[in-house]
Amino acid sequence: MIDWQDLTEEDAVDVAVAEHGKGATMSIAYCALEAYRGVDTPEYRFWFGLFLKLAKREHVGWA
């Protein structure tokens, strides 16, 4: 995978989808899980923060 520190949010989505072949939110979630190694790291926070941003954007109502 490309160094996460060099990615814009848009580029990160593209890289994640290319790597995991899923929808944007699911691919970003996989990247966050891969970055989490039992400790909170800057890479994990980057991917998880992006996941939360995408999940909030897709959330509609209470469902």
The residue type of 26 is M
The structural domains of the chain, with segments of one domain joined by +, span: 8-58
SS (H, E, C) the chain: CCCHHHCCHHHHHHHHHHHHCCCHHHHHHHHHHHHCCCCCCHHHHHHHHHHHHHHHHHCCCCC
So what's the pLDDT on residue 51? 95
Instruction: Report yes or no: 58 and 25 within 8 Å, Cβ to Cβ.
Output: yes
So what's the pLDDT on residue 61? 58
So what's the pLDDT on residue 60? 59
Taking 50 as the pLDDT cut, the residues of the chain under it are: none
So what's the pLDDT on residue 56? 87
Whole-model pTM: value is 0.83
